Amino acid sequence: MQFPVLRVARPSDRLEEVAAQYQAGLGLDVLAQFEDHDGFDGVILGAAGSPYHFEFTRKAGHSAGRAPTEDNLLVFYLPGLGEWETRCAAMRAAGFAEVPSLNPYWDANGRTFEDLDGYRVVISRDG
């Protein structure tokens, strides 16, 4: 059975920096880039064969601002302690800020990281 690909798309005022942060922190590849596509620039990140992509965009003359709440999360469940520790270290090295989670469940089961735009990524040991 073939599953659809989920693409999470969001704007950023810091397109290049945020894309680089996710690329390094989550170990993703640049799948595509575009410039001035009807006024939008963008970067699509993912991993070969993965069922998800991230698309970051910027529109000329438009301010995207910061995340609307502290509970806007992307959650990754990693299968082993070693892989979890490695990914958490990569997130820190990529410039994500480790922050306490709004929901204490995530602090008990993983680590929460905030990107340059205030959006959060949870790296969970649970899975």
Distance between CA atoms of residues 31 and 18, nearest Å: 15
Question: CA 86, 90, 92: angle at the middle one, nearest 5?
Answer: 120
Asked if 116 and 81 sit in the same domain, the reply is yes
pLDDT value of residue 83: 93
Domain that holds residue 22: 6-59
Domain contains 103:
yes
* Among candidate residues 14, 63, 113, 40, the one with its CA nearest the CA of residue 32: 40
Sole residue written with tokens 């990754």: 76
pTM of this structure: 0.93
Sheet order of strands, 6-11 included: 6-11, 52-59, 40-46, 29-37
Overall domain count for the chain: 2
Centroid of chain to Cα 78: 15
Classified as helix, coil or strand, 94 is: coil
Asked if 11 and 53 sit in the same domain, the reply is yes
Asked if 89 and 51 sit in the same domain, the reply is no
pLDDT value of residue 127: 56
pLDDT value of residue 87: 97
Per-residue pLDDT reduced to its tens digit, 70-119: 999 999 999 889 999 999 999 999 999 999 999 999 999 999 999 999 99
Domain contains 28:
yes
Per-residue pLDDT reduced to its tens digit, 1-44: 778 999 999 999 999 999 999 999 999 999 999 999 999 999 99
Domain contains 87:
yes
Domain contains 1:
no
Asked if 48 and 78 sit in the same domain, the reply is no
CATH assignment of the domain containing 23? 3.10.180.10
Classified as helix, coil or strand, 110 is: strand
Domain contains 66:
no
Asked if 14 and 47 sit in the same domain, the reply is yes
Domain contains 46:
yes
